[in-house]
Amino acid sequence: MNISLEHAKQLDQEDPLSHYKSQFNLPEGVIYLDGNSLGTQPKASQGAVEKTLIQWRQELIKGWNQGWFDAPERLGNLMAPLIGAKEEEVLITDNITLNIYKLIGYITETQQPKRPVILSEGGNFPTDGYIAQGFCHFSEFEHRFFPEGSNLEDYLDDQVAVVIMSHVHYRTGVLRDMKVITEKVHQHGAEIIWDLAHSAGALAVDLAENSVNFAVGCTYKYLNGGPGSPGFLYVNKAHQDKGWQPLTGWHGHAAPFAFDLDYSPAVGITQFRTGTHSALIYSSLEASLQLWKEVDMQQLRQKSLQMTELFRSCVADVLLHHDIQDITPEPSKRGSQVSLINTEKGFAIVQALIARGVIGDYREPGLLRFGFTPLYLSYEDVWLAAQHFCDVVESGEYKKPEFQVRSSVT
């Protein structure tokens, strides 16, 4: 490798975010490059969950009036500054899939004049398209894809009601120009739902600055909420209280404990709730969001770009000699991941790295995905991970039979 370990250590010395690493529980001997799939555990999460367990034991149902019930709004307000939203514009609830469904229904119900088409990006994370198709299956709407990487404007006609798109693409890591795309969609009289799964907590997102009205995202990746921690949903204040969303559960009712038989939506962001949520996982997420309150997102972005560049530079020669393609976008168009492609050996290389404690992931077809999370990775970790990568590829270690076996989660 053309970059020395001393250089990486020097970068750590100068890193203003280095103190965050000690606030996470990281298993010994593991370099975790999969925080873009499931984030690691903040130390504070364990205590927070235990506290909720004790509260449950001691307070029983009274716990709902002691912070559990209003957690979706309270945590939404904690999260808001991370994505350029204001108070009462973000709700922590359900998951991305269900939140997209709610927003498609809400937008199409309130849009005038009515338009029949839901347009989503081909090549996006499939659930975004699946749920749009489900929505159309049970209504008169038509779902269409526009090809990934194509000029969206070619597909925006006066039939399109809603566009669904990811801010950072889950495979390639390409960061989209949110401002330009949102503006184009609005100019065509349509709305856009941004999926922030790979940008919330990975880089500074500014929904207000980019005139975004609707967005969704998750908290189990870069935001470290924990496995299955809830999604979030953003509706710009000016677009709230315009109609119904389609998943009309009792927690989104104007008076859930009046037990009226007829549905009437709650005021504001609360109408996007559905039913009972898990107090336990919300407490884990709240502990993590408290930690995020202090993070300087400009410093985070700078470190993310420096780490991805360090990794790429360290492995560049090996990629060249072993026919592995680096499709990571240029820095200004990059999320917080490095994306490499080799359809024949990609899967096995990732498995061999995992066996060495370097955890990345693999996505069909051929994609080796390495996520870089500035809060708990050091430059030394990045250098060591690159060293392991080079060893695994150059030695042919990945060819061992045990690295060819596929389990259900890759």
Give the list of residues 6+ apart from residue 13 with CB closer than 8 angstroms, or none: none
Token pair 């393609």 is found at 325
Catalytic position from the list 195, 311, 347, 376: 195
The size of the interface with ligand PLP (CB under 6 A), counted in residues, is 13
Choice from 89, 195, 361, 381 touching ligand PLP (CB under 6 A): 195
Q: Does residue 361 interact with ligand PLP by CB under 6 A?
A: no
**Interface stretch with ligand PLP, choices 8-16, 94-102, 254-262, 316-324 (CB under 6 A):** 94-102
- Please tell me whether residue 218 binds ligand PLP under the rule CB under 6 A: yes
Instruction: State yes or no: residue 128 binds ligand PLP (CB under 6 A).
Output: yes
Which one-letter amino acid corresponds to residue 7?
H
* Catalytic site includes residue 221: yes
The separation between the first and the last C-alpha atoms of the chain, rounded to the nearest angstrom, is 28
CB nearer to ligand PLP: pick between 131 and 353: 131
23, 110, 111, 127: which one binds ligand PLP (CB under 6 A)? 127
Applying CB under 6 A, which part among 125-133, 145-153, 273-281, 307-315 lies near ligand PLP? 125-133
The pair of three-digit structure tokens given for residue 378, joined into one six-digit string = 């050091």
Segment 135 to 194, residues that bind ligand PLP, using CB under 6 A: 166, 170
How far lies 209's CA from each of 147, 180, 252, 333, in Å? 27, 11, 28, 18
**Which residue in 160, 165, 197, 350 binds ligand PLP (CB under 6 A)?**
197
Contact pattern for ligand PLP over residues 224 through 243, marking x by CB under 6 A? -------x------------
Q: Could you say whether residue 367 binds ligand PLP (CB under 6 A)?
A: no
- Radius of gyration in angstroms for the set of CA atoms belonging to the chain, rounded to a whole number: 22
d(CA 135, CA 117): 11
Q: CA torsion sign, 269 to 156 to 207 to 20? A: positive
State the binding string over 36-75 for ligand PLP (x if CB under 6 A, else -).
Answer: ----------------------------------------
* Sheet order of strands, 191-195 included: 90-92, 231-235, 214-218, 191-195, 160-166, 117-121, 142-146
**By three-state DSSP, how is residue 246 classified?**
coil
Angle separating helix axes 126-137 and 96-110, nearest 10 degrees: 50
- Cα–Cα dist 166/329, whole Å: 15
Catalytic residue among 102, 369, 379, 398: 369
Q: Compute the distance between CA of residue 373 and CA of residue 26 in angstroms, rounded to an integer.
A: 13
Catalytic, out of 176, 221, 273, 334: 221
**Is residue 34 at the binding interface for ligand PLP, with CB under 6 A as the rule?**
no
Nearer to ligand PLP, 171 or 253 (CB): 171
Amino acid at 403: F
**Catalytic site residue from 24, 135, 170, 220:** 220
CB of 100 to ligand PLP, least distance (A): 8
125 is catalytic: yes
Q: Which two tokens stand for residue 344?
A: 């024949």
Residue 96 or 384 with smaller CB distance to ligand PLP: 96
Three-state secondary-structure class, residue 326: strand
Alpha helices in 95-249 (DSSP H): 96-110, 126-137, 178-187
Of the listed 20, 125, 372, 389, which one is catalytic? 125
311 assigned to active site = no
* Residue 203, strand partner residues: 200
The catalytic residues are 125, 195, 220-221, 369
Q: Which residues bind ligand PLP (CB under 6 A)?
A: 95-97, 125, 127-128, 166, 170, 195, 197-198, 218, 231
